[in-house]
């Protein structure tokens, strides 16, 4: 039968005595009769008087055999690293001796800093299935690096921090008070009791915890506080130097910030003392955190509190079986029976004695403390790799989603460009108003028959006849402008609707949309008008430059320049430079041929083809830029989230560097 104060399990952190092996460990008054009551599962526990630094059990990392209890070795490259930061360099040779073992530590600290930067700078702004969890894990990793990994690596010799955690009403505060023999943490029947954490240490260790290297985000205070960012730091002379207790909020608290703070504190523990009761030991939430602690490599001890004496053996056995199934069988388990508290609300010394003595021996043994710190620190650093791999995958998913959204916008506006190019080839723009104005401008009947042989004569006749009147073709120019603008606006509207629908069908895209994106920009009509007018002026300039050496244009006849320019614009709206086929015939091929004759008479056959091609290419270039501006309304929103092209690569490289440095340092004397 397992009685109060017993520790059960194959190994009970035997570097700091394993449990209640000797009668004097059961009760400070030296009462005997306890040894034979210890559960048979502790029969092979080490004698506490035979302690070495290699006796701390290696609670399993994800890789090793969970049941293996590997010896802890002092890493050769660290030497006496436990004292390196507190020993002043009295002489150059002393300084060199201190500096040598920190080479591996410094390298690991450097790559941890780079990993911290990589994690902190990686964002998951797009709404994807993995984004929220990645943000949570990334934030937790940064917090753990800041709160524990970096400061602990810098001070391996600092006092060991035992974080006391557990479910609501498990008696954590009472246990802490009883271990330090003073009511330092408020206990009571109201829930939650511990609203802000309380850290209690020996007075000699108080400066380390007050200066804030460990858990730097919590503000130190000497008085109890309800502030979420407060950490009450108190001293207790009865607690041995080298070890401190931190009474954490309930891990299953009804207050959300308490639960988050409890998880944060547990991630900063050198040793996690998990407290549960006979009524709550099988709850799901504690086991989730215990599993997380195991995966991190945190050294764990458990207290089964308030156990009815008649059920102690049965409950302890069941709990031990649950620990074994979850690869936690190496964690020491202390069973405390139901008992009355003394006048200060403390558990009697005869009841708490074995657990108190166990921690007392751990505090007194620097080698055992160092082994615990190194195992937990090494395990926590080793666990960064898998966690960061998950972040990298989530970051890659963000990049893939961003590319997919960009591709959908590109496809929508690429279709728009193709529609524009088709519209310039298939003759659709030579219908209606444009066709009527072109026929009005060039003329019909006998006029067309005489154009080829009498261009120069007709030109002069037109010039003299139209002297003092507006430049010819004004109506045609306006019709061309209107038709082009209408085409542009229609294409832009279709592309915007297509891109909007494509994003709406994607979870990340839907979150980036706003109603205005479903239609073109409000100023599109004005920009389209300006584009067409600028293009028309460019064509006129092109004609003027091309005909500078032609006598018919060199005279500066406005009709010749504007007429030829309008004819070039008409040529742009038909394929193969005025050779009528298909729809172009229906759109007035005779008029197109007339335009071709006018231009050939002025510039020559090859020149007209060149002019039409240049004008068409310039128009497509201008419209392409317009569509790019419209597409940018989508892509700018995508760019604003600030995603890198290969965010996962940086995370993986940083994590690999950390793992390499960890393996080389061998904090626990093992390279696994």
Query: Which of 81-95, 439-453, 628-642, 658-672 is the least confident region?
Result: 81-95
What confidence category does residue 605 fall into, taking pLDDT thresholds of 50, 70 and 90?
low
Q: What is the dihedral of CA 468, 469, 470, 472, to 10 degrees?
A: -120
- Phi, psi of 243, rounded to the nearest 5 degrees: -150, 140
Q: What is the dihedral of CA 576, 582, 583, 584, to 10 degrees?
A: 40
pLDDT at 7: 43
pLDDT at 180: 92
Superfamily of domain 6-71+159-379: P-loop containing nucleotide triphosphate hydrolases (3.40.50.300)
pLDDT at 228: 77
Question: In this predicted model, which residue has the larger pLDDT, 248 or 101?
Answer: 248
Q: Is the peptide bond before 546 cis (omega within 30 degrees of 0)?
A: no
pLDDT at 292: 84
Question: In this predicted model, which residue has the larger pLDDT, 670 or 446?
Answer: 670
State the average pLDDT over residues 175-201.
Answer: 79
Stretch(es) of the chain classified as CATH 3.40.50.300: 6-71+159-379
pLDDT at 442: 63
- pLDDT surpasses 50 at 98: no
C-alpha span between 372 and 355 (Å, rounded): 17
What confidence category does residue 37 fall into, taking pLDDT thresholds of 50, 70 and 90?
very low
Which candidate, 41, 11, 546, 607, places its Cα nearest to that of 299? 11
Through-space distance between the first and last CA atoms of the chain, rounded to whole angstroms: 38
- Which residues fall within 8 angstroms of residue 226, CB to CB, at 6 or more apart? 195, 196
C-alpha span between 540 and 407 (Å, rounded): 37
pLDDT at 158: 94
SS3 307: strand
Tokens of 426: 């298939």
pLDDT at 560: 56
What confidence category does residue 239 fall into, taking pLDDT thresholds of 50, 70 and 90?
very high
pLDDT at 195: 66
- Which residues fall within 8 angstroms of residue 438, CB to CB, at 6 or more apart? 430, 476, 566, 570, 588, 591, 595
- pLDDT surpasses 90 at 21: no
Which candidate, 532, 536, 618, 616, places its Cα nearest to that of 576? 616
- pLDDT surpasses 60 at 209: yes
pLDDT at 268: 92
- Phi, psi of 287, rounded to the nearest 5 degrees: -70, -30
C-alpha span between 108 and 115 (Å, rounded): 10
- pLDDT surpasses 90 at 120: yes
pLDDT at 246: 95
- pLDDT surpasses 60 at 598: no
What is the Rg, in whole angstroms, of the alpha carbon atoms belonging to the chain? 41
- pLDDT surpasses 90 at 475: no
pTM confidence score: 0.72
SS3 86: coil
DSSP letter (8 states) at residue 347: B
- pLDDT surpasses 50 at 671: yes
C-alpha span between 194 and 186 (Å, rounded): 7
- pLDDT surpasses 80 at 14: no
Residue 287 burial (CB count, 10 A): 17
What confidence category does residue 600 fall into, taking pLDDT thresholds of 50, 70 and 90?
low
What confidence category does residue 503 fall into, taking pLDDT thresholds of 50, 70 and 90?
very high
Query: Which of 63-67, 404-408, 569-573 is the least confident region?
Result: 63-67
Average pLDDT, the chain: 77
pLDDT at 297: 84
- pLDDT surpasses 80 at 194: no
């Amino acid at each position: 039968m397992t009685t109060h104060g017993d520790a059960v399990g194959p190994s009970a952190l035997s570097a700091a005595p394993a449990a209640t092996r000797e009668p004097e460990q059961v009760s400070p008054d030296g009462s005997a009769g306890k040894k034979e009551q210890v559960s048979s599962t502790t029969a092979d526990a080490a004698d506490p008087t035979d302690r070495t630094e290699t006796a701390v059990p290696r609670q399993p990392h994800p890789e090793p055999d969970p049941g293996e209890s590997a010896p802890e070795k002092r890493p050769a490259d660290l030497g006496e690293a436990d004292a390196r930061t507190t020993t002043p360099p009295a002489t150059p040779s002393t300084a060199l001796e201190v500096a040598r073992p920190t080479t591996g530590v410094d390298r690991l600290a450097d790559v941890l800093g780079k990993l911290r930067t990589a994690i902190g700078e990686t964002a998951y702004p797009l709404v994807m299935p993995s984004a929220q969890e990645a943000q949570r894990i990334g934030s937790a990793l940064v917090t753990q690096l800041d709160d524990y990994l970096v400061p602990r690596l810098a001070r391996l010799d600092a006092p060991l921090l035992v974080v006391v955690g557990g479910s609501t009403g498990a008696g954590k505060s009472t246990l802490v008070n009883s271990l330090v023999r003073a009511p330092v943490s408020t206990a009571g029947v109201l829930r939650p009791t511990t609203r802000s954490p309380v850290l209690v240490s020996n007075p000699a260790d108080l400066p380390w915890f007050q200066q804030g290297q460990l858990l730097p985000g919590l503000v130190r205070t000497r008085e109890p506080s309800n502030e979420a960012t407060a950490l009450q730091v108190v001293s207790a002379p009865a607690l041995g130097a080298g070890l401190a207790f931190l009474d954490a909020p309930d891990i299953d608290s009804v207050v959300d910030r308490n639960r988050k703070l409890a998880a944060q504190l547990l991630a900063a523990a050198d040793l996690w003392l998990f407290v549960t009761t006979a009524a709550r030991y099988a709850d799901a939430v504690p086991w989730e955190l215990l599993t997380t602690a195991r995966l991190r490599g945190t050294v764990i001890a458990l207290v089964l509190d308030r156990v009815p004496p008649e059920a102690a053996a049965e409950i302890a056995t069941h709990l031990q079986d649950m620990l074994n199934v979850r690869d936690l069988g190496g964690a020491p388990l202390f069973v405390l029976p139901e008992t009355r508290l003394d006048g200060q609300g403390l558990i009697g010394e005869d009841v708490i004695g074995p657990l108190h003595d166990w921690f007392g021996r751990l505090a007194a043994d620097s080698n055992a403390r160092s082994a615990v710190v190194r195992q937990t620190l090494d395990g926590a650093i080793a666990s960064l790799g898998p966690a960061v791999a998950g972040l990298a995958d989530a970051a890659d998913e963000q990049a893939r989603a961003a590319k997919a959204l960009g591709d959908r916008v590109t496809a929508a506006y690429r279709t728009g460009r193709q529609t524009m190019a088709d519209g310039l080839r298939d003759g659709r723009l030579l219908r209606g108003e444009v066709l009527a104005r072109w026929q009005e401008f060039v003329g019909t009947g006998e006029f067309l028959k005489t154009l080829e042989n009498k261009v120069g004569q007709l030109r002069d006749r037109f010039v003299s006849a139209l002297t003092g009147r507006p430049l010819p073709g004004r109506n045609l120019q306006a019709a061309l402008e209107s038709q082009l603008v209408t085409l542009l606006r229609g294409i832009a509207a279709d592309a915007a609707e297509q891109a909007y629908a494509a994003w709406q069908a994607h979870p990340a895209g839907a979150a980036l949309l706003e109603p205005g994106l479903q239609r073109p920009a409000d100023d599109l009509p004005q920009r389209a008008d300006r584009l067409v007018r600028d293009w028309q002026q460019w064509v006129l300039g092109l004609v003027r430059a091309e005909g500078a050496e032609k006598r018919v244009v060199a005279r500066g006849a406005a009709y010749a320049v504007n007429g030829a320019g309008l004819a070039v614009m008409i040529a742009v709206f038909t394929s193969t430079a005025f050779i009528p086929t298909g729809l172009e015939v229906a759109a007035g091929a005779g008029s197109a041929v007339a335009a071709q004759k006018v231009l050939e008479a002025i510039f020559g056959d090859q020149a007209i083809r060149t002019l039409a091609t240049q004008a068409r290419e310039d128009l497509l270039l201008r419209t392409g830029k317009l569509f790019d501006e419209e597409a940018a309304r989508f892509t700018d929103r995508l760019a604003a989230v600030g995603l890198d092209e290969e965010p996962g690569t940086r995370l993986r490289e940083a994590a690999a560097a950390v793992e390499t440095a960890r393996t080389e340092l061998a904090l626990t004397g093992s390279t696994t």
